[in-house]
Homo-oligomer: A and B are copies of this chain.
Amino acid sequence: MIDGRLARGERSRTAALDAAVVLATESGLEGLSFNQLAERLGVSKSGLFAHWRTKEELQLAAVDHAEARFTERVVRPALHRPRGVRRLWALHEHRLADISSGDLPGGCFFGLAQFEFVARPGPVQARLAAALERWHALLERIITEAVELGELDPGTDPQQLSFELNAHGTAAVYESRLRPASNVYEHARAAALDRLRGLSPQPHLLEA
């Protein structure tokens, strides 16, 4: 009985956070409210208050949930590729696939929320900044591995390359929505592919 209630509670929490991540990419993470979330889910606000007492708690939980989603959708599939430049390329490709999938109306929770919180200091901004640090740390680690394997030029600067790859993915988030007639995803792919091939003594590893 108690186990059943716990499982139901966990399912309702997960469903609420799934909806919160979707809503945040529609009307903003700051715009996220218990009212809006309850309406979307067709539940009562009091049910939501059982999980989070304040809007900020809900926002922080949404950030964590979006990061777990990103790990599942983007990072984990890329980690199935061999270490080195192929894993790095796969990370970029899976990110673009996620943005273009339409699963999230705004394309990318983090691209949108991190811009939204640029000038809003506080716990939510700090949580978003920490997620961005972890993303760059992952990119930099995979770049360093590729250098060690001899798949990227030994002079490659991991921080520099990580900045560039992230920039191409981030630009694809907003340009794909505001310039639907242009070849945004192709540009975001070609930008990374050309850059990695130029830095790789083994460019044949990177099939387009």
Contacts and interface: CB of A to CB of B under 8 A. Distances in A.
Contacts of A49: none
Interface of A: 25-28, 30-31, 105-107, 111-112, 114-120, 125, 128-129, 132-133, 136, 159-160, 163-164, 166-168, 170-171, 173-175, 177-179, 182-184, 187-188, 190-191, 198
A28 B116 contact: yes
Mostly, the A contact residues are helix
A179 B115 contact: no
5 contacts: A27-B119, A105-B119, A107-B118, A114-B178, A125-B178
Contacts of A187: 159-160, 163-164
Question: How many protomers of this protein does the assembly include?
Answer: 2
Contacts of A107: 118
Contact of A171 (B27, B128, B163): B163
A109 B39 CA distance: 32
Contact of A179 (B133, B174, B191, B198): B133
